Amino acid sequence: MDTQIKTEAGQQNNRRYLTVWRWHFYAGLLVMPFLTLLALTGLGMLLFANITGKEGERIHVVPQATVQPLSVQAEAARSAVNPETSSVVQYIAPRADDMVAVFRVNNEGKATMVAVDPYTAQVVNTMPRNQGWYHTMDEIHSDMMLGAAGDYLLETAASLTIIMIISGLYLWWVKRRGIKAMLLPPKGRARSWWRNLHGAFGTWVSLILLLFCLSGIAWAGIWGGKFVQAWSQFPAGKWGVEPNPVSVVPTHGEVLNDGKVKEVPWILELTPMPVSGTTVGKDGINPDEPMTLETVDRFAREIGFKGRYQLNLPKGEDGVWTLSQDSMSYDMISPFADRTVHIDQYSGKILADIHFDDYNWFGKFMAASIALHMGTLGWWSVLANVLFCLAVIFISISGCVMWWKRRPTGAVGIVPPAQKIKLPVWWAMALPLLAIALLFPTALLAIAVIWLLDTLLLSRIPVLRRWFK
């Protein structure tokens, strides 16, 4: 009797394992191409960000005793584009003493980044805004150059990846029965060798991959833009000025982001911008001084901005001077030093001075995780990201190799685990996975679509049933 009970329990555990394996297989089948693409483009972004710079700012110059006035540098940049109709809208300070300053110059609806030698005011290089290898990699990484459709596809893939991570950890736990054993791959041959490396590498990167998925989809259009970001927007009332000089529109993202390019810290994107021309604000620049690039730059240095930072000029009659420095924009390595300052263009008063400590808990999480995600924490994070991307690529490849080696000779179709075996739903695992899917709308939609396809097509058409079931 005991033997019979043990046999039945073993059969039940085996059915549970096969059920989860099947879920893991299909989730991996769906997300593997996207994960590989994201890993490859992530490697490309790391490479070009640290060689050429995001805006081509890593051009070296010979330091000299005297730096030319900022207005002279700006005029050189403007003249290089069009001396008659162009205007300077942004200044990016040099990253180091031996590197160029960069100006964004707008002309007839087009933006050009102009690199200027700060010691001679000579134009070193010009390039269209948001072009070059870094931005090409970024566009593929963010939406595969498909716009909203690509954004939704990647959000869905990231959401399903979370389900894949949980199911994969369960499968490997059943095989190894211990954290230490899961982290150290045992010896093996043929398919077992690939399975052991797949499981060990997957365990090592699982938490980081989960973090990357969460930080990535927080930028996405549905879970990020419609849910989490809306709940987590920075409260303008924390600026310490009552009543706050804010407009209903535009927001920080609308004013300071350039199209799809994210330049504003995540938590500030939906926060209304302050406006110039009010009587509120804290003492800032001496109102007797002219509000020029030199004046504002000098003030930025006085209040603690060091090295590379961004200075955005006022847009329109109610626009503000904006000083910003954050790791997401490759300004510095520490996300805990994020800072954004808005200055009234007429009075010189500080309308807002926003630090990392002012963010709410999810804003702090996003600032830190995005810095880790982008590898902006120093050379150690660049190396860690390279190893992580290579590990993700290996996991994708090893999954394909395992599947190929498992296929019977002459088999037709994708041959999923437990093919032609009717497996029960394991609700103890299904309910947590369903709860996760409910948190991420695109994952739930994908599961619903797959269920409908399975019910209406795959189970009814013999050819499709032979390939997928």
Q: Pseudo-torsion of CA 457, 463, 467, 469, nearest 10°? A: 50
> Cα 181 from chain centroid?
32
Ramachandran region, residue 124 (left: φ > 0; alpha: ψ -120 to 50; beta: rest): alpha
- At residue 298, what is the residue type? R
Q: What are phi and psi of 183, to 5 degrees?
A: -85, -25
Q: What is the pLDDT of residue 449?
A: 81
In this prediction, residue 269 carries a pLDDT of: 85
Query: What is the maximal distance between C-alpha atoms in the chain?
Result: 96
Position 74 scores a pLDDT of 96
**Which amino acid, residue 418?**
A
Strand partners, 225: none
Q: Which of 207, 205, 198, 206 is nearest to 175 (CA)?
A: 198
Evaluate whether 118 touches 100 at the Cβ level (below 8 Å): yes
d(CA 111, CA 201) in angstroms, rounded, equals 44
User: Which long-range contacts (C-beta less than 8 Å, at least 24 apart) are formed by 345-348?
Assistant: 345/276, 345/291, 345/314, 345/319, 345/320, 345/321, 346/276, 346/277, 346/291, 347/276, 347/281, 347/284, 347/287, 348/284, 348/285, 348/286, 348/287, 348/289, 348/291
Listing from the earlier edge strand, what are the strands of the sheet with 350-355? Answer: 123-128, 110-116, 101-107, 87-92, 310-312, 320-325, 339-344, 350-355
Instruction: Give the pair of three-digit tokens for residue 278.
Output: 């009010």
Q: Please list the pLDDT of the chain residue by residue as tens digits (469 residues).
A: 445 445 656 677 788 888 888 888 888 988 999 999 999 999 999 999 998 888 888 999 999 999 999 999 999 999 999 999 999 999 999 999 999 999 999 999 899 999 999 999 999 999 998 888 899 999 999 889 888 888 889 989 998 898 899 889 999 998 888 888 888 888 877 788 899 999 999 999 998 999 898 888 887 877 777 777 766 666 654 444 444 444 455 788 888 887 667 788 888 888 888 888 887 788 899 888 889 999 999 999 999 999 999 999 999 898 999 999 999 899 999 999 999 999 999 999 999 899 999 888 888 988 999 999 999 999 999 999 999 999 999 999 999 999 888 887 777 778 777 776 777 777 777 787 778 777 788 888 888 887 777 777 767 777 767 776 6
What's this model's pTM, rounded to 2 decimal places? 0.86
DSSP state of 336: G
Task: Please tell me the number of Cα atoms within 13 Å of 230 on its side-chain side.
Answer: 7
pLDDT of residue 198: 93
Quote the CA–CA distance of 312 and 321 in Å, as a whole number.
6
| pLDDT of 23 | 85
| Beta-sheet strands, E only, within 332-464 | 339-344, 350-355
Strand partners, 102: 92, 115
Q: Which residues contact 254 (CB under 8 A, 6 or more apart)?
A: none
